[in-house]
A and B are shown apart, each in its own frame.
Chain A
Amino acid sequence: MVVSHDDTQDVLQETFIQIHTHLDELRQAASERAWVYRIATNEALQWLRSRREFLSLEEDDASPLINTLMADSYTDTGDALVLLMQEAILTLPTMQRTVFNLRYYDELPYEEIASVTGSSVGAAKTNYHFAKEKISNYILAHQ
């Protein structure tokens, strides 16, 4: 979600502070993992909203995020295909990107993804399906 190393550290720190502050609510949460992921996702989205340069007029204009990814000193540019896949992920709309990351990298079940994103299981599945399609098409077009 957040591509730069420094920004990720800020979001991570804020996430842990929020978890610590709202630890009492954890006992009421149905799934502890989903609760932690929801906080982390909210913090990442809040951070993205706070950065004007990442709020493009057109939803599919991911150039500021891609530029940040390329310019970051902690981005490994050695593997072109891996980098291209990250570029493709960054072109996705926020909801699809969130769902894709949670499902593909973190292997969360759709029920938990729905709980994290505040949507239905069906919507999570649809978003994941569209995300995979778009990523494949992007990579095929740019390879």
Chain B
Amino acid sequence: MKQDIFTQVGKRTPFRTPEGLFEQQEQTLKQAVSRQTSVVRPLRRRWWYAIAACALLLIAVYPVMQLVHSSYLSDTAPVYSQTSSASDDWSDFADADVFLDNMNW
């Protein structure tokens, strides 16, 4: 009896489709996919361009930065060693300054 039910019904379903559904669906899908590719692909490409540009910029700027940094250190190191009592000088200056002295900290 139980097997009869499946034999009787077979693969029939109550679902119907309107005339020309699949042709219409094909057009809708083409439009949807072209919309998606026209939006997504350039965006993806733009991301890659941005990453590549950043990497190139980093490669170009890094040696220059290294050079500037090393020359700055070599320029400032001797000067800084000469003014080792710079903080003492600043304290004296601050104590003597009328304006700073009148401030309520």
Q: Residues on A close to B: CB < 8 A?
A: 3, 5, 8-9, 12-13, 16-17, 20-21, 69, 74-79, 81-83, 85-86, 104-105, 132-133, 135-136, 139-140
Contacts and interface: CB of A to CB of B under 8 A. Distances in A.
23 contacts: A3-B15, A13-B28, A16-B29, A17-B29, A17-B32, A21-B40, A74-B18, A75-B15, A75-B16, A77-B14, A79-B12, A79-B14, A81-B9, A82-B9, A85-B5, A104-B6, A104-B11, A105-B11, A132-B6, A133-B2, A136-B2, A139-B5, A140-B1
Given A81-B9, A105-B11, A136-B5, A74 B17 contact: yes
B104 to A, nearest CB: 64
7 closest A-B pairs by CB = A136-B2, A76-B14, A74-B16, A82-B12, A85-B9, A16-B29, A83-B14
A52 to B, nearest CB: 24
B36 interface: yes
Interface string B1-33: 110011011011111111000000100110011
Nearest to A69: B14
Q: What range describes how many residues of B lie at the interface?
A: 20 to 34
Nearest to A12: B25
Given A13-B29, A16-B29, A81-B9, A21 B16 contact: no
A81 B7 CA distance: 12
Given A79-B12, A82-B9, 14 more contacts: A5-B18, A16-B32, A17-B36, A20-B33, A74-B17, A75-B16, A77-B14, A82-B13, A85-B5, A85-B9, A104-B6, A136-B5, A136-B6, A140-B1
